[in-house]
Structure 1
Amino acid sequence: MVTSVTTEVSQALKKGTVVMGGTFDPIHHGHLRSAVDILDCFQFETLRLIPCFQPVHKGEPTVSAEQRLKMVELGIAADSRLSVDAREILRAGPSYTFETLVELRAELGQEEPLIMVVGMDSFLSLPTWARWQDLLSVAHILVISRPGWEPDFISTLESFYEKHRAESATELQCAPAGKIWMQSFTPLAISSSQVRNLCREKASIAYLVPETIQRFIEAHSLYK
């Protein structure tokens, strides 16, 4: 049993390229709150959101890649620290995280820390990802978790985590890649499927997504 999820505010890191991928079908306040929590906790200057074109472990997105991309752009417009990276949508085809990280590493050079943010649910499914054991050759992994949650790891993943676990968050900027750090935040209990279901039921999605996204969904009759 792994219990080393940190709840204290970590030291300012600032240095590093931070990325968070997802289907964002649609992006909602839960996604955005997590991104802001990471920026505020570690004082990173920016965070890139990378919407995927075709998720490998989920069904086809409900709306087009272009519509999901537009909603991400609308969602982050109020915070200049957030940006969108459309490379997976432009690449098309199945979106493999390792391929994206390799591209980013080539662009950043070999010295810049590259930090991939994932939720605990995604981290627990890591052994099903393509080339998952190679991810740390090109990036760090920052896992965000709920307070008080002690994850139950399968043995393969637990060994991987223990081998690469950072002793402090500052290790994420002492090397370009290779470490795993777990940080606890209190998430907003919102899911994309919840938003989609409310739309299908013709119920309000106010306060679950930014107003600009709500208007976009309504204007284009999405998720009906």
Structure 2
Amino acid sequence: MTDTGGSPVAVLGGTFDPVHWGHIRPAVELLQALGLSEVRMVPVSVPPHRSQPRADAALRCRLLRLAVEDVPGLVVDDRELRRAGASYTADTLASLRRDLGPRRPLCFIMGSDAFRGLTQWHRWRELTGLAHLVVTTRGGDAGGGWSDTLAGWLTARRAVNPAELRRSPAGRVWFQPVSQLEISATALRRSLAQGYSVRGLVPDRVWTALSRCRGYGYPQQ
């Protein structure tokens, strides 16, 4: 077995607009199932492939910190908010790799839909030179539906056992089932704007903060 520099560190990026249990629960499951040392929740500043977040970066980051405050192993990493320009995954992973050194296993968490579109990402072929990819699957989604380019690229990189994520610092792709929580940030924003409670869909501290601010249009209490 290759000697690596400790348990894997994982990265979960997103707009978190706002953060909800559909973000937190899968992160906890991955932390436990894969023996990760931590999952770094990285809020996006300027997403290059989707519309801009509804709330500003400061509010999204504050709510995210509240969400993970009492969850061991989940931490907020705000490096994308401190960097100017678009938030490209390749840049973020390169920054993390510099911090962690060349031997520490690093995993980038992404959903199966995002993985299907991976070939459209900025410098996508560089990603597995910096980290492993952990692709989350839900329900009956066993993967597939990939382009010929992606399928061919995956053939040489697909892991057959999650232990492979610990044996090298980067380079493998692992598919991991996680719980399916039908919570949509879009629906939460709509509910808040209409004055409806989202209690139970977000962590309690997040709900308390949301009910006291106008970041998503919820009537100030």
Whether these two folds match at TM > 0.5 is: yes
Deviation per CA, 1:185-213: give whole Å up to 9, x if none. Answer: 22211111111011122112011101211
Task: Give RMSD over aligned pairs.
Answer: 1.2
Query: Which residue pairs with 2:120 in the alignment?
Result: 128
8 Å contact kept, 2:14–2:43: yes
8 Å contact kept, 1:25–1:62: yes
Map 1:65-214 → 2, pairs under 5 A: 65-151=57-143, 152-214=145-207
8 Å contact kept, 1:54–1:60: yes
Which ranges of 4 or more aligned residues in structure 1 deviate by more than 6 Å? none
Letter paired with 1:47: V
Q: 1:218: Cα distance to partner?
A: 2.0
8 Å contact kept, 1:46–1:81: yes
Distance in 2 separating the partners of 1:54 and 1:218: 26
DSSP-derived class of the 1:90 partner? coil
Distance in 2 separating the partners of 1:189 and 1:70: 24
Give ranges in structure 1 of 5+ residues lacking alignment.
1-13
Query: Which residue pairs with 1:53 in the alignment?
Result: 45
Distance in 1 separating the partners of 2:146 and 2:71: 35
DSSP-derived class of the 2:163 partner? helix
Question: Equivalent pairs: percent with the same residue?
Answer: 35
Q: 1:108: Cα distance to partner?
A: 1.1
Query: Which residue pairs with 2:215 in the alignment?
Result: 222
Query: Which residue pairs with 2:33 in the alignment?
Result: 41
Matched, 1:15 2:26: no
Give ranges in structure 2 of 5+ residues lacking alignment.
1-5
User: Greater shift after overlay, 19-28 or 152-161?
Assistant: 152-161
User: Greater shift after overlay, 144-153 or 86-95?
Assistant: 144-153
Q: Normalising by structure 2, what TM-score?
A: 0.92
Q: 1:45: Cα distance to partner?
A: 2.6
